[in-house]
């Protein structure tokens, strides 16, 4: 989503957070209990850092060529495209309900630790409660 008053602050914050997490992943003591998390920290930090760089490049491109970006904003805010976006998101949500339910059943039938299927079931319950809450909230607005 493009915001009209987007500043350079957000990309810089992302870059700083990404570098901080990368440095944590690099300099974490190897003999600590966190040694398995070094790679995870490097991956998360690199992703946040890359997102910050991409946002910064986008910001500078918008400043350089604002007419082309106005066309992109118009295309993204087009009512038909928004409708398709919401319809696709709704379809994916419906498919995910079946996939997560299937994984819960498979997790219960196999020798997985009990927390794995319970976590997936909790995630499914959270998704459904959030869906009902947001539906009711948005339905009252209309």
Tens digits of residue pLDDT in 65-119: 878 777 777 777 778 878 888 888 888 888 888 888 888 888 888 888 888 888 8
Is pTM, for the whole model, over 0.85? no
**In degrees, to the nearest 5, what angle opens at C-alpha 118 toward C-alphas 91 and 25?**
85
- CB neighbours of residue 108 within 10 Å: 14
């Amino acid at each position: 989503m493009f915001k009209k008053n987007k500043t350079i602050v957000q990309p810089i914050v992302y870059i700083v957070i990404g570098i901080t997490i990368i440095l944590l992943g690099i300099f974490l003591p190897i003999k600590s209990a966190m040694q398995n998390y070094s790679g995870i920290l490097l991956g998360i930090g690199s992703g946040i850092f890359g997102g910050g760089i991409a946002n910064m490049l986008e910001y500078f491109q918008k400043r350089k060529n604002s007419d082309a970006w106005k066309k992109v904003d118009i295309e993204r805010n087009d009512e038909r495209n928004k409708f398709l976006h919401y319809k696709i998101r709704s379809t994916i949500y419906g498919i995910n309900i079946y996939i997560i339910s299937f994984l819960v059943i498979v997790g219960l039938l196999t020798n997985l630790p009990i927390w794995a299927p319970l976590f997936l079931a909790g995630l499914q319950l959270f998704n459904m409660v959030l869906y009902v809450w947001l539906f009711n909230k948005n339905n009252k607005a209309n």
